[in-house]
Amino acid sequence: MLIERFYVGDGISHISYLVTGQTKAIVIDPKRDVDDYIQKAKELGVKIEAILVTHLHADFIGGHYELAEKTGAKLYLPAKQNSKREHIPVQEGDTIQIENIKIDVLDTPGHTPEHVSYIFTDLSRGEEPAAVFTGDTLFVGDVGRPDLFPNKKEELAKALYNSLQKLMRLPDFVEVYPAHGAGTLCGKALSTKRSSTIGYEKKFNKLLSLSEEDFIKTLLEGMPPAPDHFKRCSKINEEGAIFLSKLNSPKPLSVEEFENLMDDDRIILDTRHYLTWIGGHIPNSLSMDYRFMPFSLFAGWILAPEKEILLVTDNSNEVDDIAIKLRRVGIDNIVGYLENHTFAWANAGKAIKSFKALSPDTLEDKLNTESIILLDVRSKSELKNGNIESSVNIPLTELRERYNELDRNKEIVIYCGIGPRGALAASLLEKAGFENISVLAGGFTGWSNYKKSPLVCGR
């Protein structure tokens, strides 16, 4: 039994798997862009026979229906999911066998009501289980969040506790393969390790040693906010997304074509480096640095899925990859991209907007001599690492509703961790009508290095 891992970053930190036997293979929790599994199966000389889904994923769009159609594989979904599309429902007590691989289904609700886990036994090795694919029930060093259904969070937290007790009854040597690694918002504090064993988790996963009462209390305290796209993705995964193969690639647009499409019903999404956006951009475009921020996460969280997207990129060769990252979180309406980016736009004499990028020494001078608003857009959890004295904290994802707390008559200097989220925050304020905006280049990291010691700027 060979286990191949497929990892997607960008704030999703999704892990899916291809498990192969002698001539047949099984895919667990596939991502939306499914050709990677088909190509790997071809390389290994095996046929994808089955697709297993642990639950309705909230943070990304799955490709299970498209992969089933492309390969003819049988699709297995949790029975409580109640999908209306063709599939085989599974629940605890069910067994699937593919060649020498026996798969036992275990009901493990808690993260979601319908969640199941899959226990794999390699019969060519012996009768004892070898691996368990735990979806979002058990992570390395953490467990799934039970608060995605706010009215049921205590009930689901209790169910999750019981589900984990089931998993802990597996032999210590059983390998644990979760659906996410560090960086996802499907849990609180996942390890950077991407697989584990039952024995390792018993010893090092602190949540597993708590009483039921303490587990529920600890788990529900301090949970990070759930992004906007979580509810949307769950619904799409149940109904089935439009197949990627049926969506068109974004088309190149001339300056004139691009300008004619610009209106309030479309979003201009600028994916260039954040400092490039600050130096010159199309007015009212949103800055979302494709390389240096969790792109898919913030695209799903910030962008309105019903609006069409007009892209501004550094390089047309990046467009298809950017489109995939957007479509992984259900942003499908990508019309096209500006040919030759803002170089063509500027040469055509069109309007360009710019803000100031401040170095730490310039910011320090301003703090000593001017009355400014220093806006920290990092999350609440990041504040434990310190902040810049006199700054006001409004997390980036709350800025869309809270911008009226800011004085439009003062210069607003924005900072985040390293810079890109500061530019995104600036673009949100620009769309809200703010004019006097600057961004601290390098963010709090740059400031801390400038000061040599974070203690100087500690809270």
Per-domain boundaries in the chain: 2-236, 247-347, 356-457
- List, for the chain, all residue ranges whose pLDDT scores fall below the cut of 70: 453-459
pLDDT at 190: 86
Q: What integer pLDDT is reported at residue 83 of this predicted model?
A: 85
What's residue 36's pLDDT? 97
pLDDT at residue 455, as a whole number: 46
For position 319, what pLDDT does the model report? 96
Domains 2-236 and 356-457 share a fold: no
How confident is the model at residue 431, as a pLDDT? 95
**pLDDT (0 to 100) of residue 459:** 36
- CATH architecture designation of domain 247-347: 3-Layer(aba) Sandwich (3.40)
What pLDDT does 456 receive?
Answer: 47
What is the predicted pLDDT for the residue at 457?
A: 46
Q: Determine the Cα–Cα distance for residues 387 and 302; give it in Å rounded to an integer.
A: 24
Spatial distance between the Cα atoms of 192 and 34, rounded to a whole number of angstroms: 25
Structure tokens at 360: 């730490």
CA–CA gap between residue 404 and residue 424 (Å, rounded)? 17
Note the pTM of the prediction, 2 decimals: 0.93
Q: Which residues 6+ apart lie within 8 Å of 195 measured at CB?
A: 5, 140, 175, 176, 177, 178
| Paired tokens of 124 | 């060519």
Q: What dotted CATH number matches 2-236?
A: 3.60.15.10
Topology of 356-457 in CATH?
Oxidized Rhodanese; domain 1 (3.40.250)
Burial class (CB in 10 A: 0-12, 13-18, 19+), 372: middle
Per DSSP, the three-state class of 285 is coil
**How high is the pLDDT of residue 216?**
96
Q: E strands of 83-205, at which residues? A: 88-90, 95-98, 101-107, 116-122, 131-135, 175-178, 196-197
